[in-house]
């Protein structure tokens, strides 16, 4: 097929007109043939729709710098026993001679976007990859019950931030990184799961006025994928993102963020060690201020006391301190992890 050129000097958002359709047992996705993005999703059961990227810029970022790739080819593959219908895009990034192969696969109620091949034919080495304003899924304020719900978890002390936005009543614009995020209208709910390494940049949320549509829009995109964290180590896995769509999933006859959270949980990767959390008390045995308040024997004695008081309930103890303040261990700041299961 012949692909249109992108005006890289003035990359204004433009309507997506050259489209194709991916079909699964549960829904359809209208996709762009020139760039790996979804225009909209249609649920088979009730023909309900939820948007992807209605107007788009063919932009991606390599190492923080914007590029507007040339689409070399587009092909569509039929579904197989273990894979849904798939669209394949070959992209050439001008100036740095990097080629990407990206796929979008639709299976059941999940659309997976993923980069399957990356070739560095020039001198530029790819460290980070971003698809800014990709709008993997979006809702408009003109839709009934258009809402955004998100959580950001940084790992700091009790630093779990939650947000809820109703696009009709909340005038605040939002833009930034989130750990998880959900969108819904009154008919469909959606979420995005990615393999972004940075835990608080898994998903990018953007709420603001779409200048082309002239209405407020909430959208979800992937964060910044780290491909090379070090020039001496092997690259990280190539980027992928999964968009999961659902109508009412919990049987309460209401479509909201909870339905999106249920299907998110079904496809999200559980953090390493998460199965241990419910069976253990977690706390820190800390040495600070040169007082050595928790030497090893005292920490161990406290663990035995807690075990006795909790009838042998498990404990996960982070033994933490500073070498200059009495910690006789060969690392500068931490850590020894002591796991006490049943005594």
- pLDDT recorded at residue 271: 83
pLDDT of residue 334: 37
255, 143 contact by CB (below 8 A): no
Comparing C-alpha atoms, which of 68, 70, 183 is closest to residue 132? 68
φ/ψ of residue 275, rounded to 5: -65, -15
What distance in Å separates the CA atoms of residue 32 and residue 87, rounded to the nearest whole number? 10
Q: Report d(CA 206, CA 222) in Å as an integer.
A: 11
Distances in Å between the Cα of 109 and the Cα atoms of 28, 48, 105, 266 are: 9, 13, 11, 11
pLDDT, tens digit only, all 343 positions of the chain: 444 444 444 457 888 999 999 999 999 999 999 999 999 999 999 999 999 998 888 999 999 999 999 999 999 999 999 999 999 999 999 899 999 999 999 999 999 999 999 999 999 999 999 999 899 999 999 999 999 999 998 877 767 899 999 999 998 999 999 999 999 999 999 999 999 998 889 999 999 999 889 999 999 999 999 999 988 999 999 999 999 999 999 999 999 999 999 999 999 988 888 889 899 998 888 877 666 778 888 888 999 999 999 999 999 988 877 655 545 444 333 344 444 444 4
- Domains in the chain, please, with CATH? 14-267 (2.70.98.10), 274-340 (no CATH)
- In degrees and rounded to multiples of 5, residue 258 shows phi and psi of -65, -35
At residue 323, the pLDDT reads: 59
CB 169 within 8 A of CB 214: no
Name the phi and psi angles at 30, rounded to 5: -85, 120
Note whether 51 and 37 are within 8 A (CB).
Answer: no
Using CA atoms, how far residue 296 sits from 45, 310, 321, in Å, is 61, 21, 12
Per-residue pLDDT at 14: 82
Q: What is the largest CA-CA distance in the chain?
A: 73
Cα(297)–Cα(318) distance, rounded to whole angstroms?
14
Residue of 307, 301, 308, 320 lying closest to 281 (CA atoms) = 307
């Amino acid at each position: 097929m012949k692909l249109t050129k992108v005006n890289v000097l003035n990359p204004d958002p433009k309507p997506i007109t050259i489209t194709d359709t991916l079909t699964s047992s549960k829904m359809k996705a209208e996709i762009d043939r020139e760039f790996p993005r979804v225009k909209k999703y249609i649920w088979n059961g009730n023909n309900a729709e939820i948007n992807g990227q209605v107007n788009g810029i063919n932009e991606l970022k390599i190492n923080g710098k914007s590029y507007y790739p040339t689409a070399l080819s587009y092909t569509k593959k039929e579904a197989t026993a273990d894979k849904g219908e798939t669209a394949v895009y070959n992209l050439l990034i001008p100036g740095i001679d990097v080629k990407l192969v990206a796929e979008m696969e639709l299976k059941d109620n999940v659309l997976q976007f993923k980069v399957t091949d990356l070739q560095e034919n020039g001198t530029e080495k790819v460290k980070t990859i971003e698809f800014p304003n990709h709008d993997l899924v979006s809702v408009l304020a003109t839709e009934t019950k258009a809402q955004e719900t998100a959580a950001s978890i940084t790992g700091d002390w009790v630093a779990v931030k939650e947000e809820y936005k109703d696009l009709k009543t909340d005038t605040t614009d939002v833009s930034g990184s989130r750990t998880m995020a959900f969108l819904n209208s009154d008919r469909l709910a959606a979420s995005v799961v990615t393999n972004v390494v940075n835990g608080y940049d898994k998903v990018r949320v953007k709420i603001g006025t779409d200048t082309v549509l002239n209405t407020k829009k909430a959208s979800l995109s992937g964060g910044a994928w780290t491909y090379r964290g070090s020039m001496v180590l092997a690259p990280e896995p190539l980027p992928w993102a999964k968009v999961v769509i659902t109508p009412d999933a919990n049987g309460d006859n209401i479509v909201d963020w909870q339905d999106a959270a249920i299907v998110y949980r079904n496809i999200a990767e559980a953090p390493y060690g998460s199965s241990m959390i419910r069976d253990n008390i977690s706390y820190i045995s800390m040495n600070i201020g040169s007082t050595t308040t928790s030497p090893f024997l005292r920490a161990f004695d406290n663990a035995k006391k807690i075990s006795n008081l909790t009838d042998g309930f498990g404990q996960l103890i982070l033994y933490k301190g500073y070498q200059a303040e009495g910690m006789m261990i060969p690392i500068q700041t931490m850590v020894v992890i002591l796991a006490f299961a049943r005594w």
